[in-house]
């Protein structure tokens, strides 16, 4: 084979390699929209120091950008409407929506916005960001587990994550019934996003 022919083949292979690298870099950061039907924000508080009562926020929304090759470029923003608090007891839910607790009229949303993402191991990430409730923003850092990824039956690509952590409601100015309802609130947040 002639040297010029060999040189052309080598150049072609290099160009293909460069295109493959650029393509993978372009696809590294993926944007996902949260699927509200498969995203959950569940909380529990202790009642009278005796037993736990559970609740949730229905219909959370948001987006996340996931960059598997450079996790530090990943970002998540999510929110829930405080009027969608649901403990399966209508009278209690009405009270929770009042100024004593979530004050839904003045503060219609609870939200989280990440500031940094760090990969700890193959399936665990450390996410730091701002949690806003009752108009007060506090920093939190949580460990987030990658729970899975793949195509659904309709051809969409989905990715999921889950975390559990605790906050003190008094840090956000929610101090009503401190003797009857625990200050510490335990949360589980499980998100499922559809790639856009």
Query: Residue 7: in which H helix or E strand, if any?
Result: helix 3-28
What structural domains does the chain harbor? 28-195 (2.40.128.110)
Helices (H), 33-161: 90-96
pLDDT at 186: 98
Q: Is the dihedral of CA 118, 147, 88, 64 positive or negative?
A: positive
pLDDT mean for each 10 residues of the chain (196 residues): 59 49 58 98 98 98 97 97 98 98 98 98 97 98 98 97 98 96 98 98
pLDDT at 28: 75
Beta bridge partners of 133: 136
Residue 126 and residue 175: Cα distance in Å, rounded?
A: 29
pLDDT at 139: 98
pLDDT at 14: 54
Residue 126 and residue 131: Cα distance in Å, rounded?
A: 15
DSSP state of 1: -
pLDDT at 23: 44
pLDDT at 10: 56
């Amino acid at each position: 084979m002639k040297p010029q022919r060999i040189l052309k083949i080598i150049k072609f292979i290099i160009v293909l390699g460069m295109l493959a690298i650029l393509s993978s870099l372009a696809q590294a950061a993926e944007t996902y929209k949260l699927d509200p039907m498969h995203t959950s924000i569940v909380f529990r508080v202790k009642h009278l120091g005796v037993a736990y009562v559970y609740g949730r926020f229905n219909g959370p929304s948001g987006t996340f950008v996931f960059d598997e090759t450079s996790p530090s470029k990943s970002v998540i923003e999510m929110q829930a409407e405080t009027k969608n608090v649901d403990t399966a007891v209508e009278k209690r839910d009405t009270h929770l929506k009042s100024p004593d607790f979530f004050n839904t009229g003045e503060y219609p949303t609870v939200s989280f916005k990440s500031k940094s993402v760090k990969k700890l191991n193959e399936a665990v990430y450390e996410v730091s960001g701002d949690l806003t409730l009752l108009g007060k923003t506090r920093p939190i850092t949580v460990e987030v587990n990658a729970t899975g990824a793949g195509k659904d039956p309709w051809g969409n690509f989905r990715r999921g994550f889950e975390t559990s952590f605790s906050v003190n409601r008094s840090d956000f100015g929610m101090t009503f019934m401190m003797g009857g309802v625990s200050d510490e609130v335990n949360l589980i947040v499980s998100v499922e996003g559809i790639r856009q």
